[in-house]
A and B are shown apart, each in its own frame.
Chain A
Amino acid sequence: EVQLVESGGGLVQPGRSLRLSCAASGFTFDDYAMHWVRQAPGKGLEWVSGISWNSGSIGYADSVKGRFTISRDNAKNSLYLQMNSLRAEDTALYYCAKGLGAAAATGDFDYWGQGTLVTVSS
């Protein structure tokens, strides 16, 4: 059974940093692209970042480019999102999502975690 378990969320002050993790199991992690998608309270989905199976292709939404860094450790079956210079508008539930294939360039997420809540507030 595919499982994606996010962790690392919490309350953080504006300008500070946070690192999210996603532990994957139930599939061959290094065969698939992985993504982070967020959802602000009561709002729609927003793609944040994606990474191909071998980290060779990485993309970011304009809203986070230069502040967030996605990475993966295939040996640990884990996905990460380093979030720096956090802003109030980054407050959201952050989902880890598995791609259908190895490339990061497709928005077909067939499995999602339950999300980890990030709240940016002073």
Chain B
Amino acid sequence: QSALTQPASVSGSPGQSITISCTGTSSDVGSYNLVSWYQQHPGKAPKLMIYEVSKRPSGVSNRFSGSKSGNTASLTISGLQAEDEADYYCCSYAGSSTLIFGGGTKLTVL
């Protein structure tokens, strides 16, 4: 079980759009539409932003969207806001009742 691969950091200016990638393998991301994304602010518990690749939980802004192509899932944040600055993690089902997280991406809003 190797962690899913995410860029260590991304940045963008307010109002812009950014995309965070999450690359796995044909045994996890590529095989199941069970990718979720989490936002974590410093000192806080993670918050579910996207589940099942592209579904948004109630209360999550529609500025957040998810997609998947092959072994890579992506989280896009449009209309970037200061409060979006946080760490973001992807998570995928990996078979046999196991899950795996990505290494995390630090988003900086310039």
- Interface positions of B (Cβ within 8 A of A): 1, 3, 34-36, 38, 40, 45-48, 51-52, 57, 87, 89, 91-93, 96-104
- In the assembled complex, the Cα of A94 lies from the Cα of B47 at a distance in Å of 15
Contact bitstring A53-84, B, C-beta under 8 A = 1, else 0:
00001111111000000000000000000000
Secondary structure dominating the interface of B: strand
Count of A interface residues, CB-CB < 8 Å: 27
Kindly state whether residue A106 has any CB partner on chain B within 8 Å: yes
- In the assembled complex, the Cα of A116 lies from the Cα of B48 at a distance in Å of 20
Task: Give 25 pairs: A residue, B residue, CB < 8 Å, sorted on A.
Answer: A35-B99, A44-B87, A44-B89, A44-B101, A44-B102, A45-B38, A45-B89, A45-B91, A46-B101, A47-B98, A47-B100, A60-B98, A61-B98, A95-B45, A105-B34, A106-B34, A106-B52, A107-B34, A107-B51, A107-B92, A108-B34, A108-B52, A109-B38, A109-B48, A110-B48
